[in-house]
Structure 1
């Protein structure tokens, strides 16, 4: 019944908030479209293009996010993260994203 839909909506709200807060905590400002299963963290601070970010994140941490540039020119500098998955998977993805960003900053500091 309607209770199930309500419960599901609450679960997704919880996951979205958890993901957005996590991304912000590790230094990625985040845009949340209403009524979607995605959030769009702003990765411009990393100095990488959206495509490079996605490629390197996948290679180094085995997590797939979609390049914002796939959604038109306005999407460059953002990546799309889906939260239609378990809380456990979201937590793991955030840990890996944090790790990726930490390693990226170290590399960039070394390269000067």
Structure 2
């Protein structure tokens, strides 16, 4: 991706939502504009990032937990899935559209 001005070096991925832009930087940390990263995750390391509407979800590097923020959909609870192990998914994946 090209940006004008100084840009942001070492960006690994980007997630765009409703009035929200987040990136996964070269240190595997999430930086967001439009929605604040919760205090407990500002120094966390992440594997991936995705946004949908005004919700941002990330996978934590240490234990593959899924954390989300930016919408009251989760009623203030950021930890969605704890200690998830990567691998094949058995069954169906359900997309939750708000």
User: Is TM > 0.5 for Structure 1 vs Structure 2?
Assistant: no
TM-score, length basis structure 2: 0.27
TM-score, length basis structure 1: 0.25
Q: Return the structure number with greater relative CO, CA threshold 8 A, min gap 6.
A: 1
Return the structure number with greater strand share.
2
Return the structure number with greater helix share.
1
Larger Rg: 1
